[in-house]
Amino acid sequence: MKNRYWTVILFSALLSSCIIDGGEGTPVDLTMVNQGNVVLDLSDIDYYDFSSHIVYLKGSNRLEGDFDQLRGAKILVNGTEIYPLNIHDLYLSTMPVGPHIQSLIDVFGDFAFRISFSDYPDGSGSSIKDPRSDARIVSALKKHNKYRAGLSIEAESILRQGNQIKLKIKIRNLDSQNYYFLDPHKMGEGLFHYFTNGLGFFDPQQMGYQQNKIEHEPPEPHLYWSLDWMSVIKGKESKTFEFTYPFENVPTGRDLKFSFVFPSPERSIQLGSDLDQQGGRIWLGSVIMELTKRF
């Protein structure tokens, strides 16, 4: 009888350790709290895409489309504050600093919101560290299988031909699930660049920013979108794209700071139910490539 008793105790201990190793936890591992009230926790969140910092919500959640509840909220992990979250209204003349949600721009229907970040040096020349990817937040999300790495972008090559720049980029799916993304080959040059300004550069010597001269072609109506514009990038897959950008003048002999934004139809999709398609899920947000180049 005694041996049987200890066998039960040992089995229970092993089972408990397996549950812990399997990453079980509680929704309060990560919470958003406003004036002592929990306005969002992990039970409300479908997943958090770290490539775009968009938080996707479950169909039933505490916010119910009222994102103003996040104004002044604090993000906590296991009761420890990681950072405060502000809502920046577009009518304000001041620039947002730190983690924030831009009203109208960073909310998507009633199904998602983006946590943006702005880093402006203060008078001493220091800068603000971005706390959104704090390891404690990542750990809490992974414990509940609510972490997604999303898409990444990198420059494969950038070449100058007179006043034209030839850019080759690589888009990589860092997750296991398939994503639909805006395919510039299917959309055509003008329509794709309605959703992004594409490549531009800053010339520190002239203290000026120069944008490419590609003409944009808006959809009709302007919020229209189509799955025909998109392709699927499978889990862990990479795809490369090449662009040729005409500029007014591309200086030589000095460092130029280039940037390129790969877009999505984030402003066009109004319903969360539209995201899941037969071949995968529509990816929202944008990823930015930045590099310094001297020709």
Asked if residue 156 and residue 126 are part of one domain, the reply reads no
Q: Where do the H-state alpha helices sit in the chain?
A: 2-21, 135-143, 184-187, 189-192
Asked whether residue 175 falls in the same domain as residue 290, the answer is: yes
Output the average pLDDT for the chain: 91
- For 35-83, how does the pLDDT look when each residue is reduced to its tens digit (9 = 90+)? 999 999 999 999 999 999 999 999 999 999 999 999 999 999 999 999 9
Domain co-membership, 154 together with 289: yes
Q: Is residue 21 part of a domain?
A: no
How far, in Å, CA of 280 to CA of 11, rounded? 41
Structural domain count of the chain = 2
Domain range for 63:
27-143
pLDDT in tens, 165-200: 999 999 999 999 999 999 999 999 999 999 999 999
Query: In sequence order, what are the residues at sequence separation of 6 or more whose Cβ sits closer than 8 angstroms to the Cβ of residue 262?
Result: 151, 153, 169, 171, 196, 286, 287, 288, 289
Say if residue 231 is in the same domain as residue 196: yes
Report the distance separating Cα 249 and Cα 164, nearest Å: 8
Q: Which residue has the higher pLDDT, 70 or 129?
A: 70
pTM for the full model?
0.89
Burial class (CB within 10 angstroms; exposed 0-12, middle 13-18, buried 19+) of 101: buried
- Regarding whether 269 and 199 lie in a shared domain, the answer is yes
The answer to whether residues 55 and 93 belong to one domain is yes
Report residue 126's pLDDT band, with 50, 70 and 90 as the boundaries. Answer: low
Above pLDDT 70, what percent of the chain? 89
Chosen domain end from 143, 171, 187: 143
What span, in angstroms and rounded, lies between the C-alpha atoms of 48 and 32?
14
Last residue of a domain, one of 143, 166, 197: 143
Q: What is the DSSP letter of 91?
A: T
C-alpha–C-alpha distance, residues 271 and 59, integer Å: 11
Do residues 134 and 154 both lie within one domain? no
